[in-house]
Amino acid sequence: MALRRCSMDLHIHTVLSPCAEVEMIPELIILQAQRSGLDMIAVCDHNAAENAGACITAACGSTVKVLAGIECESREGVHVLGIFDRAENALQLQDFIWSRLPAEPNRPEFFGAQMVVDASGEFIRFNDRMLAASADASVEELVQRIREADGLPLPAHVNKTHAGLLGVLGLMPEGLDVPAVEVFLPPGSDAQTLAKLRTTFSQLETLKCIRSSDAHRLEEIGQSRSFVWVESRSVGELELAFDGRLGRSLEELC
């Protein structure tokens, strides 16, 4: 099989995230991803994956490949994306996270509603858990759990002081088993923005970095993206691309 260039945005929220707009339903997300020329997306809600399957279904027959993800929050307050080929694997991680979340219910009046929907966006039910919270598990444990569920662990927006691995923990934890990290660069950033970021966090020099939109609104989808050269669109191929093995590769940012 030949290698192809794949445009990807691996960090998109749906209406299951309390902070996402109500327009973030599967059908519209796929439509917007397709319009903005994305080949692959991952749906990553806060500490939950209940809408991932619906997004995969909604993408059937479209040009967009959907991976199932979760944006989990560690005990330290660090966000890590877990990216999976199948919704079931993401749900396996979800079970673990839910066993470690605080017992309090969500307060929609403060944090927003958390809606489980079907592929067309029809409302199924509210998720009443407090999803905007830390799971009682270290960042290392989350990474390990993601690996055990055959997922790809990617620390999210690492340079942010709000929930970014480097912002919160200052340094990359020794031996953390992640193939790449997501950096936050505002839309329109250039090579200079990235160079400056690498001065602030020198460890970014040696880490594989990707960009994603962290979209909470439709128009944000694909505004930040990364490019990989892969044979097919899967977690296994992504890992090869991040590692630069078997001809697969990740393009430098900016």
Partner 1 sequence: MVQYITEGLLEEIAQTLSLENVSGTDAGITRATGVYVSDLLSDVMGQAHSGEIWVTVQSHLNVVAVAALKELSAVIICQSREVAPAVAARAKGEGVVLFRTPLSAYEVCGKLWELGLRRAA
Binding residues vs partner 1 (CB under 8 A): 76-77, 138-139, 161, 166-171, 173-174
Q: How far apart are CA 103 and CA 186, in angstroms?
A: 35
How would you classify the pairing of strands 123-126 and 152-155?
unpaired
User: Which residue's CB is nearer to partner 1, number 67 or number 78?
Assistant: 78
Q: How far apart are CA 176 and CA 162, in angstroms?
A: 20
User: Which residue's CB is nearer to partner 1, number 161 or number 192?
Assistant: 161
**Smallest distance, partner 1 to C-beta of residue 201, A:** 8
* Cα separations in angstroms, 45 against 14, 134, 197: 6, 14, 26
User: Which residue's CB is nearer to partner 1, number 138 or number 144?
Assistant: 138
> Which structure tokens are listed for 18?
């309390």
Closest C-alpha to 47, from 80, 5, 24: 80
**Smallest distance, partner 1 to C-beta of residue 169, A:** 5
DSSP annotation of 51 reads: T
User: Which residue's CB is nearer to partner 1, number 116 or number 176?
Assistant: 176
The percent of the chain in helix, strand and coil, each rounded to the nearest 5, is 30, 25, 45
> Which structure tokens are listed for 210?
């990707």
**Smallest distance, partner 1 to C-beta of residue 95, A:** 22
Closest C-alpha to 36, from 241, 215, 228: 215
Q: How far apart are CA 251 and CA 254, in angstroms?
A: 9
**DSSP-based three-state secondary structure for 70:** strand
User: Which helix (H) or strand (E) covers residue 193, if one does?
Assistant: helix 191-200
User: Which residue's CB is nearer to partner 1, number 37 or number 170?
Assistant: 170
User: Which residue's CB is nearer to partner 1, number 37 or number 102?
Assistant: 102
User: Which residue's CB is nearer to partner 1, number 3 or number 168?
Assistant: 168
